[in-house]
Structure formats: structure tokens, C-alpha cells
Amino acid sequence: MEDRQEAGRVLKQYFGYDHFRPGQGEVIAQLLAGRDVLSVMPTGAGKSLCFQVPALCLPGVTLVVSPLISLMKDQVGALVQAGVPAAYINSSLSERQNAQVLQNARQGRYRLIYVAPERLDTPAFADFAQTAEISLLAVDEAHCISQWGQDFRPSYRGIATFAAALPRRPVIGAFTATATPEVRQDIALQLALQDPFAMVTGFDRQNLFFEVQAPQNKKEALLRFVAEHKQESGIVYCTTRANVEQVCALLCQQGIPATRYHAGLDAEERQQNQEAFSYGQAPVMVATNAFGMGIDKADVRYVVHFNMPKDIESYYQEAGRAGRDGDAAHCLLLYSGSDIMTAKFLIEKKNEEEPDPALASARVEADLKRLNVMARYCQTTGCLRQYILRYFGEDAAPCGCCGNCRQQFTELDVTEDAQKILSCVARTNQRFGAAMICDILHGANTERIQRMGLTSLSTYGLLAAMPRADVMERIRFLEDADALRRTEGEYPVLQLGPGARAVLFEGARLCMKVKEKPKAGTGRTRREKTARAGEEVTNPTLFEEMKALRTQLAKENQVPAYFIFSDRTLRELSAAVPHTMEALLDVPGIGQSKQQKFGQRFLEVIEAWQPPKA
């Protein structure tokens, strides 16, 4: 009970929040009571506070193991701004700087130290750890410890050894956003958690708007989208470095302030570009998945996937970087069939490195299965949010407000098309993949078709009048309806499924839901208005003036604008119009540290502001 009060006080004083979010309070209480915790909460749910608040309540120091330098830098930067003594130790610092941090740490100067996993077993760090009072060991992005997870990092395996060698075992908290039940178990096992308190909060992120498009021309679709989101910060993810280069160049040509990030750039440029993005000079970031695990930028308003990612875990984690501040944000996936080929190629390449062939093929199989689930997400006409939540084991009703829920569908009788497709599969002895079946029905004149003498088939060219994409759509629909089955493996072929018979021979009718083409312009605006309802700005002129001040303060302090105050906090401020330092503390997002640092300046703007005459 006392613990909870203390935690609440810390939350208010350092972070300026009045309430814990779902799950936070329990996790913190358990850690403070000395129990290990395994916490699975979606991106943006607020996992950091779950170890930062206990760190400020417990004696001694909290070690935070974190996989990425950018992640540490961001979090430590934000903590220091909030008045919390914290530091990090990793390879971005010189050995001298790292030694300095350790020296300060020995004197008990920090409440939190972020450390890269590879550092744990260096002699200097191990030596420090032997004498330090380590109350809590927090493992962020804990799924990295499991080779069944999507981001396995061998260096994470050393954490348990490190903990076991300490003179006194600290409480251990493990945190991740994406873990299926098997990965969860593996985390607990690998970290040797003792009777951990498991906190799995809902995965739903209500402020995210999910949408999938399969445009003829992705570049045009992207440009249109970005143009509709001018002035907003966003991330565009591409699968390959080459795509990143192209897309970034395209945006820049159109005068959009974009920058790029991928593993092919040298460390210095990566850092520069990331900062340009964080600090707002380049509000649009085009990147491979190398970018992001550490991106704490809270005001990212959209995440566009220019290519389909390899699995739902990756997608939800990447898309989840939008809207961490809780405001509405848009997650758009631009899909095309060729994305599947690229993803398969990458899966094979990745698993080639595994020396054990049995393990390699088990991994390929698991990866292909996940890829398949991802592809289905792109093709479903059902609720996108529900699809994702069910994947993570959460039951959910259709949300009513994702791209698919808002899409108008018409029912189309496709029985005859279905019969043609199924006959074609049967006549060619169920040995071709979807692309070939599509070619045959379409009457394509390819070398392969000529060579195999397929032009004489009775089904050749039966659907010549239909665009290829529509034939593909029907094939997918027939898979969903169990009339077709796709074999697994490297070269999947289409076979008749249990539902084929009824359509071919028993007169069953099949109706398919098809998207109505949205009328130009109108669909989106309506959607966006609804998504943003509740974010009305009460005094827009004051809001704008405070935004300008925020930009100014960000420059003066050399931090990103959202380190000062989030958009939400500015909205609360312009609604509350506080006139005293005291009253500032009642505004969510303003703690003592920020009140002291920035309060006076904001009060000045408020005093000078004239409400417009009605």
C-alpha cells in the first residue's frame, strides 16, 4: 500500500502523470514487493515507466539491459530532462567515457544505468557489479533472448549468467511488446525468472487506424498519402536498402523533408539522420527495419509500410511506433504479391547462416508459416484489428473503425469464375502455382506456356477479359472458402480443397465481398475526421503560440520538441489556460522538473495571449 503511494508520487513528480495506465500499477507493485515480473504490453503502452518508477523508489541502482544504442540514448535523454540521474554504457562512448560513467556509478550517482548486453561480462563492468547495490535488473525488449522470437540476439543469453554471478540476486523484470505464448515461456526459462508475475495486457492500440491498400502503383499511392499528411511526422518502412534509397529520393524530389536509415549507411550518417528525424528537421523517415526498436519519438503520426513485413510480430511492432503519445495515428500497409517473394528470399538468406541443418529447416518452416499469416492480413476483407489481436491470442470483435471495417463492400456472385478457376486447376493436374494458373486463365502467351503446350487446354484464356489482379483475388477467395488449397514449401501449388466439389458439381453459389472503389477524396476525409475526434484544440491560437515556444525551447536545450511537452500536453494547456506555477502541475504531462525548467516561459506566453474576439 505504502509502495503504491510512493510509486504514485514518483509518477507525478518526475513524469507529471496522475494515473498509471493499465498494467503499470500492478507490475510496479510486484517489483517493489520483490517479485520477478514478465510483462507483455504493446508498443506505446508505457513499459519504460514500469521499471523507471521502481528505480526511483528502490535503494541503490537499477540496471536496464537494452539492445540498441539509440534506444538507450533516447530514454536516458528523456530521464535526464525529467530530472532523473541516469546514464548509459555502450560502444557509442569511448572507453574513457565508459570508465567515467562507471566511476560515477561507483559513487552512487545514478538511479538507472542502461547497459548493452555485450557489456555485462566485460571485466570493468563485472567488477563494478560485484560491489554495487543493484536492486532491480530490467530486461527491455526481452524477446531478444529467445531464438523463437523475431529478433534473437545471442548476447542476451549472457544476462542470466551475469545475474547469477552477483553477490545478491536483484529482482528481475522482463519487458516485451511482442511475444507469443511459446516465446513468453522461453523468456522466463532463459532468464531463470523465479515464479514471475505475468502481466499480459491487451494488445489493442485504440488510437491506431489500420489500413491495407494494394495499389497498382505504390509510389503514387505513397506520394498521395504523404501529401495528405503534410506537416506530420511519419516513418516509411521498406524491406530492402535499395527501396529505401529510391523511396527517399522520390520523396525528396517532391519537396518532402525526408531522410533515410539502413544498415548500409555508416554509423555517423545513421546517427545524423536519426537525429534529423527526432529533432524534426526531417519529419519523414524512410528506413529498413534496422530503424526503430529504440525510437521513442512519441508524435509519429503515421507509419507506412511500402512493403509487406515478414510477420505480424514485426508489423505490429513497427506500425506501433505510430501514436505513442496516444493521439490518433495512421498505419498503412501497401501490399503487392511480389512482396511475398522478397520476404521468402530474405527468410532463406537469414536461415542459411544456421549451421545445424535440422534447426535451419525448422526455422524456415516457422518463418514461412508466419509469413503466410502476414500475407493473409493483407488479403483479408475482415477487420484488420481483430485479425492482429487474434493472432496474439486475444479475442476481439470487429472494431468498426479500421480500413476494412469502414470499407464499403458489395457482394459479387463469382460462381462462374470459380468454376473456371477450379476446372483449370483440375485439368492441369493440380501441379501449378497461383501465378501459372492465372496466366493460363488469362491466356498469357509466355514461353513456358508455349513449351508445355498449354494453349490447347479448354480452360486457356477463359478469363482473358478479367484483369490479372481480379483473377488473383478470386483465387485467394477460393482459398479462404476452402475450395482451393495451397501446399506449403518453397514452390507452393494450388490443389482442390474440400469445398471444390460443391461448386463444381453440386450447384453451390459463391458470393465474394469486393471493395467498392472509394469516391475520390471523400472516404478518407470522413475517416480522418472521426479518427481525430476528441483531439479538438480549445484555443487554437494559444496552442500555436505554445508550439512555437516549444520549438524555441527544443533548440535552446538541444532536445527534440516532444522531450519538452507532447502535443497532448500542449492541448491540455491550451484548454486549461493555467496562470500559476501551481496550476501547471495539474496539467497531465507536467512534473516538477519540467514545471521548474519550462513553466515560467509557458506562463509568459499564456499571459501575453489574447483570446480572439468572437
Q: Which is nearer to Mg ion, 22 or 540 (CB)?
A: 22
Q: Which is nearer to ligand ADP, 69 or 437 (CB)?
A: 69
What phi, psi does 30 have (nearest 5°)? -65, -45
Q: Which is nearer to ligand ADP, 20 or 110 (CB)?
A: 20
| C-alpha cell belonging to residue 438 | 492465372
Q: Other CB atoms closer than 10 Å to residue 91's CB: what's the count?
A: 12
88 binding ligand ADP? (CB under 6 A): no
| C-alpha cell belonging to residue 309 | 513485413
Q: Which is nearer to Mg ion, 47 or 385 (CB)?
A: 47
For residue 262, the surrounding DSSP H or E stretch is none
For residue 306, the surrounding DSSP H or E stretch is none
Q: Which is nearer to ligand ADP, 27 or 471 (CB)?
A: 27
How far apart (Å, rounded) are the C-alpha atoms in residues 612 and 614?
Answer: 6
Q: Applying CB under 6 A, which part among 14-22, 118-126, 311-319, 496-504 lies near ligand ADP?
A: 14-22
The distance of closest approach from Cβ of residue 482 to ligand ADP in the complex, given in angstroms and rounded to an integer, is: 38
Choose, by CB under 6 A, the member of 29, 38, 41, 282 that binds ligand ADP: 41
CB 381 within 8 A of CB 409: yes
Buried b / exposed e over 179-189, threshold 16 CB at 10 Å, is bbeebbebbbe
Q: Which is nearer to Zn ion, 385 or 594 (CB)?
A: 385
Residue 222 neighbours by CB under 8 Å, 6+ apart? 236, 247, 250, 251, 304, 306, 334
**Orientation angle between helical segments 2-10 and 24-32, nearest 10 degrees:** 120
21 binds, among Zn ion, ligand ADP, Mg ion, none (CB under 5 to 8 A by kind): ligand ADP
22 to 61, contacts with Mg ion by CB under 5 A?
47
383 binds, among ligand ADP, Mg ion, Zn ion, none (CB under 5 to 8 A by kind): Zn ion
The distance of closest approach from Cβ of residue 330 to ligand ADP in the complex, given in angstroms and rounded to an integer, is: 18
For residue 300, the surrounding DSSP H or E stretch is strand 300-305
Residue 281, CB half-sphere, CA atoms under 13 Å: how many? 10
Residue 596 neighbours by CB under 8 Å, 6+ apart? none
| C-alpha cell belonging to residue 1 | 500500500
Q: Which is nearer to Mg ion, 51 or 432 (CB)?
A: 51
The distance of closest approach from Cβ of residue 274 to ligand ADP in the complex, given in angstroms and rounded to an integer, is: 16
| C-alpha cell belonging to residue 49 | 515507466
DSSP class per residue in 216-234: S-HHHHHHHHHHHTTT-EE
- Interface with ligand ADP: number of residues (CB under 6 A): 18
Choose, by CB under 6 A, the member of 30, 48, 146, 404 that binds ligand ADP: 48
Q: Which is nearer to ligand ADP, 128 or 237 (CB)?
A: 237
The distance of closest approach from Cβ of residue 292 to Zn ion in the complex, given in angstroms and rounded to an integer, is: 25
45 binds, among Mg ion, Zn ion, ligand ADP, none (CB under 5 to 8 A by kind): ligand ADP
Burial (CB < 10 A; 0-12, 13-18, 19+), residue 2, is exposed
Q: Name the residue with cell 458439381.
A: 505
316 to 375, contacts with ligand ADP by CB under 6 A?
324-325
| C-alpha cell belonging to residue 558 | 538541444
SS3 38: strand
Choose, by CB under 6 A, the member of 21, 344, 376, 532 that binds ligand ADP: 21
For residue 485, the surrounding DSSP H or E stretch is strand 484-486
The distance of closest approach from Cβ of residue 45 to ligand ADP in the complex, given in angstroms and rounded to an integer, is: 4
How far apart (Å, rounded) are the C-alpha atoms in residues 404 and 426?
Answer: 33
The distance of closest approach from Cβ of residue 55 to ligand ADP in the complex, given in angstroms and rounded to an integer, is: 13
295 binding ligand ADP? (CB under 6 A): no
The distance of closest approach from Cβ of residue 30 to ligand ADP in the complex, given in angstroms and rounded to an integer, is: 17
296 binds, among Zn ion, ligand ADP, Mg ion, none (CB under 5 to 8 A by kind): ligand ADP
How far apart (Å, rounded) are the C-alpha atoms in residues 26 and 308?
Answer: 36
Q: Applying CB under 6 A, which part among 12-20, 198-206, 513-521, 592-600 lies near ligand ADP?
A: 12-20
Q: Which is nearer to ligand ADP, 310 or 324 (CB)?
A: 324
Q: Which is nearer to Zn ion, 134 or 212 (CB)?
A: 212
402 binds, among ligand ADP, Mg ion, Zn ion, none (CB under 5 to 8 A by kind): Zn ion
Q: Applying CB under 6 A, which part among 41-49, 201-209, 421-429, 603-611 lies near ligand ADP?
A: 41-49
70 CA to centre of own chain? 16
Q: Which is nearer to ligand ADP, 45 or 343 (CB)?
A: 45
* Interacting residue ranges for Zn ion, rule: CB under 5 A: 383, 385, 399, 402, 405
273 binding ligand ADP? (CB under 6 A): no
| C-alpha cell belonging to residue 431 | 501441379
177 to 206, contacts with ligand ADP by CB under 6 A?
177
189 to 228, contacts with Mg ion by CB under 5 A?
none
How far apart (Å, rounded) are the C-alpha atoms in residues 558 and 577?
Answer: 27
The distance of closest approach from Cβ of residue 317 to Mg ion in the complex, given in angstroms and rounded to an integer, is: 10
* Residue 20: closest CA among 49, 43, 41: 49
How far apart (Å, rounded) are the C-alpha atoms in residues 394 and 201?
Answer: 10
SS3 288: coil
Choose, by CB under 6 A, the member of 27, 37, 45, 53 that binds ligand ADP: 45
463 binds, among Zn ion, ligand ADP, Mg ion, none (CB under 5 to 8 A by kind): none
Choose, by CB under 6 A, the member of 7, 31, 37, 49 that binds ligand ADP: 49
| Helices marked H in 380-521 | 384-391, 403-406, 415-427, 434-442, 447-451, 468-480, 500-505
Binding site for ligand ADP (CB under 6 A): 17, 19-21, 24, 41, 43-49, 177, 296, 298, 324-325
Binding site for Mg ion (CB under 5 A): 47
